[in-house]
Chain A
Amino acid sequence: MTVVIAGAAETDEVGKLPHHSTLQLHLEAARNALADAGMTIHDIDGVATVGTPGPVQIAHALGITPAWLDGTGVGGSSFLFHVRHAAAAVRAGLCRTVLITHGESGRSRVGAGRFGMGPDSLLGQFELPYGVVGPPTSFTITALRYMKETGLTHEQLAEVAVAQRRWANLNPRAMFRDLITVDDVFASRMVAYPFHLLECCLVTDGGGALIVTTEDRARRTPVYLLGSGESAEAPMISQMEDFTTSKGFRLSGEAAFTEAKIDHGDVDHLMVYDAFAHVPLYGLEDLGFVGRGEAGAFIAEGHTSPGGRLPLNTNGGGLSYTHTGMYGMFAIQESVRQLRGEAAAQVPGVEVSVVLGNGGMFASAATLVLANRLP
């Protein structure tokens, strides 16, 4: 049974949306995705989403009585997990058509969940006492070890942001569009050495939604799910096995490539979750597109930039396009647009696109292999 993405859309706008609550962002994205699919709420019998407000409220707010729910909440990768779980559910006949929504008032914090972990939580006992201030001071902590082990330079780390800005420059919806240089990155404020502001993701408001079903139920040209994988590593970054490679990236990627029966030469387009500039480097290496320690030079040489042989993060990514907090939904949306030939910075002839999602700080990971044709 062939599983497809039969509808995909983001909120009308992404960026700074103080007049939208978290719930409104979910609902607007859901309505847009239904319209994109040529469907109504009556076609939907499965609902998946994460966090506030959760699948019960999303289903109820839309007027859907679900026969299947998934509230998997493992960070920004969750929506890739939802796609994988939805595929299994429709194949198993647990439901027919699943709506996956994301909405996050990450910047304006309207109707948003509270941050913070108690002093008796794992992080409260073993990380927060050391002055951690969210992801910029902990997700980043692997980079110096990676640099020492692989020889990655500060310039090459900055080049990740420079390369992605070239894509954002072509995308009118991107929050930051002006081209930048390595010197611009170095001149931006130091957030957490070795990371400057321009090597850290945006914080925005926005949402997106997907409709996953079987091919026979799709009402528009579908995007095929050829393969998927999921895994997890550690709940605290200090416990990550090896600071130079992500186990979740490796395992989810291997599973997705194996199921899809593709190899790297088949991939025309790649999205790698980029909360910080080092994450795409791990993604390129851990998915096997380049060898260990080669990703920095690969990006600096322009291979992932417009015109390069492996277009990467073509919406501008979390670094330049948008990053609500759980960015994975936007990575999937860009893959779908590229496969449909509808992207702002369209890459010619994309037939197979891979999306790698990160959750937490290298804590969870999922990979999707999407295509606009069956092999």
Chain B
Amino acid sequence: MITITDLSHGILRIPALSIEPGITTVFGPNGAGKTTLLSVTAGVILPEAGLILIDGSPPRSCEIGWVSEFPDRNILFERVFDEIAAPLRFRRLPMEMIEDRTMKIAERLSISRLLNRKMRTLSGGEKVLVALATALVTSPLLLVIDEADSHLDEETAWEMQDALRSNQPPYVLQSSQYQNIADVSDDHIRIHEGFVISRGMNQDG
């Protein structure tokens, strides 16, 4: 379980919140604090005050995967293989293990055929799947998807959801603009001006 206690950061004020394993969608209008909530939960930024624990450990000591708002503009390497393998390389794992794990994740997301392509030549949807593979290659405890689908067409957004479900980490925290994608998630958190205003499944879902 992810537990958030007495959190205060920017406009975000969350006295107590717990998130069960599964896919949780965060909702809210522009400027409500969605990205801030995702960032502090992932340990990308340290909160001004408050405590966040993922299965009892602070976020920075956990393995976290992140898919950013613009998967096609946040690319480090030119070749698909190098991009997916980057997190493993940064951890200085031996080359054989890097190759093995990169191949495996590519296979599970059905993008093996892309490994030798250049990032620049991929379609938008393929780039998103590569970004997802890169986030999943370290087998994270928590995967965060920050508005990644707000610049995607619906087919591509669903492709990403399908790929995610075939390879789901224990916790997934995503912000989405598509109501029907949010409807199929396990849980939702609606925030407004920094406060959690509703919790739990949608009535109609």
Are these two chains actual partners, yes or no?
no
B interface list, Cβ under 8 A from A: none
